[in-house]
Amino acid sequence: MTIAVTGSSGQLGGELCRQLGDEAARLDLPAFNLTDAAGVAAALARLRPEAVINCAAYTQVDRAEQEPEAAWAVNAAAVGVLVRACGELDCPLVQISTDYVFGGTSVGRPWREDDPTAPQGVYARSKLAGEQAAAQHARHWVVRTCGLYARPNDRGATHFVRTMLRLGREGKPLRVVRDQHCTPSYVPHVARAVLFLAGRADGGPAPWGVYHVTNGGATTWFDFACAVFRHAGMDVRVEPITTAEYAAAAPRPAYSVLDTARYHRLGGPTMPSWEAALAEFFAEREGDDR
């Protein structure tokens, strides 16, 4: 059996392929370009996969404000290409999405799958459009997740934990945002949950629709950074700042904690708390993180 994983060189795509082993068909640039409709259809027709997991995305949140066409081409239009190909093959599609679709005022609790979305910025709006495109395929799962960070031995991955460790070694004080609430999530846990939803466990595939998959609990980027340095045994001065002080080009959600109850009701692998997940990352860490 074959599971096609687009964006297979990325953090989540690479981990899915690792967990799938010989079942994974790795699809990524330059040989596989999601914006090439004919090429996508031909590649999937040759593979005839049991399912397609789309991890490919334009994720440069700030740059998307200057390159909206590129973001929309990958995050939205390309999903429509996959939908048409999956329709021809009658195979399911897993579309990986983001907490950024919730950019509006907090409802005072974690966001549920059926809560109204309010994306802000090109990246967020294009990812929501990708969800909507995926929903045109009857056999689809949309998986929203947040703040991914890969295994420590994934040397090609760029993520918040690695960035903090690199900056912390420079010995300078750091300024990290403290008014954005979210749940950073460890890629191996998210990948395991995605494969459960897609039926790679013994329970068969989950009902179609949208699922929230993150580690448990909530934190801020400031508090997460402080936890990273505690685990690393590094004495780094971290100053809390506001989103306004950070002054990024693209808006960020002030509160994007996701409710994972729908996923957990299915009896899938438990998503540990963000604290336990970070401890697992450091337990697996070998040598100097570069």
Catalytic positions, written as ranges = 123
Give the span between the Cα atoms of 233 and 235, in whole angstroms. Answer: 7
Give the span between the Cα atoms of 241 and 243, in whole angstroms. Answer: 7
Alpha helices in the chain (DSSP H): 11-20, 37-47, 68-72, 78-89, 122-134, 160-169, 187-197, 221-232, 243-246, 261-265, 274-284
> Taken in order 112, 104, 117, 123, is the CA torsion positive or negative?
negative
For residue 107, give the nearest of 258, 272, 1, 271 by alpha carbon.
258
- Tell me the two tokens of residue 217: 């609990």
